[in-house]
Amino acid sequence: MTIPSFVIGIAGGSGAGKTTVARLITENVGESVTRIPIDNYYKDQSHLDMAEREQVNYDHPSAFEWDLLYEQLSELMEGRAVEMPQYDFEIHNRKSERETVEPTDVIILEGILALYDEDVNEMLDLRLYVETDADVRILRRIQRDAIDRGRDLQGVIDQYLSTVKPMHEQFIEPTKKHADLIIPEGANSVAVTLLEEKVQAEVEGDETRTWERDAIEREVQERA
């Protein structure tokens, strides 16, 4: 059974580069890392039709099922596997199938509001906020939604002005004060390298501790 030893939260606005930072700092840690996108905890909206689901404010904290996220994180922290929900952006709804997630040494919780919930914050060992200028973020958002995901450009602009920007200012940006570290501009290579070393050290440090604990136990048993 693995009890996670290092839980990292990565917050920041849409298009800030959270996913990239999460990937880069754990690239060389191998298989002992679990990434939890908070997007997977968007509420189930099966009771709404497509037109209603398009109207939902997905940048507001009330769009997420915080209780479920807290519950599943707690389970993982105690060494138990969870059935994590999956989210489908195309239809703005939770998928019917879930994904089994096993606890691993390192867990990364990533999302616009990763540093929003007080109970979740308390479970994090390292709180990161990725800070990227709003103009860069909207350009990336256009690239991703209008070019890569084929959404209508006017729709992306309208959504940005009506919800993404105001919610960023009201709810996301203020979570910066909960951060241990603020990373300027997503893939800042100095910050990423330092963090990568930190994650590596945590994983190895924990292995050393486990090994020492086992060795001490063996010695005690041999003496008895």
Binding site for ligand UZR (CB under 6 A): 14-15, 39, 42, 58-59, 89, 92, 112, 159, 163-164
**Minimum CB separation from ligand UZR for residue 26, in Å?**
17
Among candidate residues 139, 201, 131, the one with its CA nearest the CA of residue 168: 131
Q: Which is nearer to Mg ion, 94 or 141 (CB)?
A: 141
Q: Which long-range contacts (CB under 8 A, 24 or more apart) does 190-196 make?
A: 192/21, 192/24, 192/25, 195/21, 195/25, 195/128, 196/24, 196/25, 196/26, 196/27, 196/28
Q: Of ligand UZR, Mg ion, none, which one sits near residue 196, judging by CB under 5 to 8 A according to partner kind?
A: none
Q: How far is the CB of 172 from ligand UZR (least distance, A)?
A: 9
Minimum distance from residue 3 beta carbon to ligand UZR (Å): 29
CB of 88 to Mg ion, least distance (A): 16
- Alpha carbon of residue 186 to chain centroid: 14
Task: Tell me the one-letter amino acid at 215.
Answer: A
Out of Mg ion, ligand UZR, none, what residue 44 binds, judged by CB under 5 to 8 A for its kind, is none
* Pick 87 or 103: Cβ nearer Mg ion: 87
Nearest approach in angstroms of CB 167 to Mg ion is: 16
> Residue 64 phi/psi, 5° resolution?
-105, 150
Closest CA to 98 of 81, 110, 111, 115: 81
Nearer to ligand UZR, 112 or 195 (CB): 112
User: Which partner, ligand UZR, Mg ion, none, binds residue 92 by CB below 5 to 8 Å per kind?
Assistant: ligand UZR
* Binder of residue 39, out of Mg ion, ligand UZR, none (CB less than 5 to 8 A by kind): ligand UZR
State which residue, 19 or 200, has the beta carbon closest to Mg ion: 19
Binding site for Mg ion (CB under 5 A): 19
Tokens 């800070």 locate to 131
Residue nearest to ligand UZR (CB): 14
- Spell 31-42 as b/e; 16+ CB within 10 A means b: ebbbbbbbbbbb
Nearer of residues 19 and 200 to ligand UZR, judged by Cβ: 19
What single-letter amino acid sits at 97? E
Token couple for 107: 């867990």
Looking at the Cβ atoms of 19 and 121, the one nearer to Mg ion is: 19
Q: Shortest gap between Cβ of 173 and ligand UZR (angstroms)?
A: 13
Beta strands at 87-88 and 33-37: parallel, antiparallel or unpaired: unpaired
